[in-house]
Structure 1
Amino acid sequence: MTIEARIRELGNRHRNLDETIRREMTHPASDSLRVRELKQQKLRLKEQITSLEARTH
């Protein structure tokens, strides 16, 4: 897999997590621990994307 393809894959996962977080937060009984874990996953993905993008420049 090329770096660009990996960046796209991670970007898709990042967007999916963002949508999952939004849905979770709209529920009246949302689980704050789950939301925090999802946000941490999203941050790790963003860091991976940033690191890979730095390699391509």
Structure 2
Amino acid sequence: MSVAAHLAELVEKHRALERSIEEEMARPYADTVRVSELKKKKLRLKEEIERIRLERVSLH
């Protein structure tokens, strides 16, 4: 898998997590533990996306 394809996949997963968080928060009794776990996963993805982007910039 190319770096660009991997990056695109990570960005899509990040967006999917954002949708999941929004859906959970829209519930009358949101599962705060689930929301917290989703937010942590989203943050890890964001950090990985940024790391890859920085590596790509430094290579050029």
Q: TM-score range by the shorter chain?
A: over 0.9
- Larger gyration radius, structure 1 or structure 2: 2
- Gaps spanning 5+ residues in structure 2: where? none
Identity of aligned residues (%): 42
TM-score by length of 1: 0.96
Where do 4+ consecutive residues of structure 1 move more than 3 Å?
none
TM-score by length of 2: 0.92
**Alpha-carbon shift at residue 15 of structure 1 (Å):** 0.1
Return the structure number with greater relative CO, CA threshold 8 A, min gap 6.
1
Deviations 1:3-53 (A, max 9, x none): 111110000000000000000000011100000000000000000000000
Provide the C-alpha distance between the structure 2 equivalents of 1:3 and 1:54, rounded to a whole number of angstroms.
12
Q: Which residue of 1 aligns with 2:41?
A: 41
Q: Which residue of 1 aligns with 2:23?
A: 23
